[in-house]
Amino acid sequence: MKAHKVNTTWFKDRLAERDLSIRRLAKLLELDPSAVSLMLRGKRTMTADEANRISGLLTIPVTEVLAQAGVPIDADARQMPIKAYVDSRGVLTPITSKNTRKMAAPRDVPANGLAVQIRAPELSQDGWVFFAGAFDTRVAALIDRMCVVDVRGDGHRVGTLKRGYDEGRFNLVPFTAGPAAENIEVKAAAPVLWIRPV
């Protein structure tokens, strides 16, 4: 197995800042502690999904996590179809047309990620596109991050996840000045990785 040039000290420092051990990180990632140890020593390659989840746990951009893990990141981008749009209330609507517009996506956006356009003429961000990672059911790991959220019984919304008032519940603050959705049940969430002004 090829070793990667991992900045182990950087990872240890970031974990220490958040009072996380490798064992605790492994539990949050649902991995064996030895697999995480090998990954942080460069003996095992970090996957894009693992990088996205570590990014969320450490609240550090995924590109920085990948760079410190020794994963080559180049400026190349692939084209990703815009599969949905979001309005000023943060409500997500799928685009059903077969001729959807494509945008250059950063390389660290996983293939099962999502490109979403803001369609809100009243906002200065009208037309902007954001790229989200894959949906994850470990929603608590995405607290304080902007996400696409699958709300049980109420479709998909976009906003910043906050802790709710009851166990297993969350508040969702929209990216606009609208009211927050309080104490909602979230099935899964996908972190927003990039926002591209158009």
Chain centroid to CA 76 = 20
Rounded alpha-carbon distances, angstroms, from residue 10 to 6, 38, 46, 73, 140: 9, 15, 15, 18, 24
Q: Give 179 or 84, the one with higher predicted confidence.
A: 84
Strand 78-86 relative to strand 114-118: parallel, antiparallel, unpaired?
parallel
Q: Fold for 79-196, please state it.
A: Umud Fragment, subunit A (2.10.109)
Query: Which of 12-16, 70-74, 193-197 tops mean pLDDT?
Result: 12-16
Residues of the chain with CATH 2.10.109.10: 79-196
Q: Fold for 8-68, please state it.
A: 434 Repressor (Amino-terminal Domain) (1.10.260)
pLDDT digits (tens, 9 = 90+) for 53-100: 898 888 887 778 888 888 766 544 578 999 999 998 899 999 988 778
pLDDT higher than 90, residue 152: yes
pLDDT band at 2 (very low <50, low <70, confident <90, very high): very low
pLDDT band at 189 (very low <50, low <70, confident <90, very high): very high
DSSP state of 180: P
3-state secondary structure of 43: coil
Tell me the average pLDDT of the chain.
87
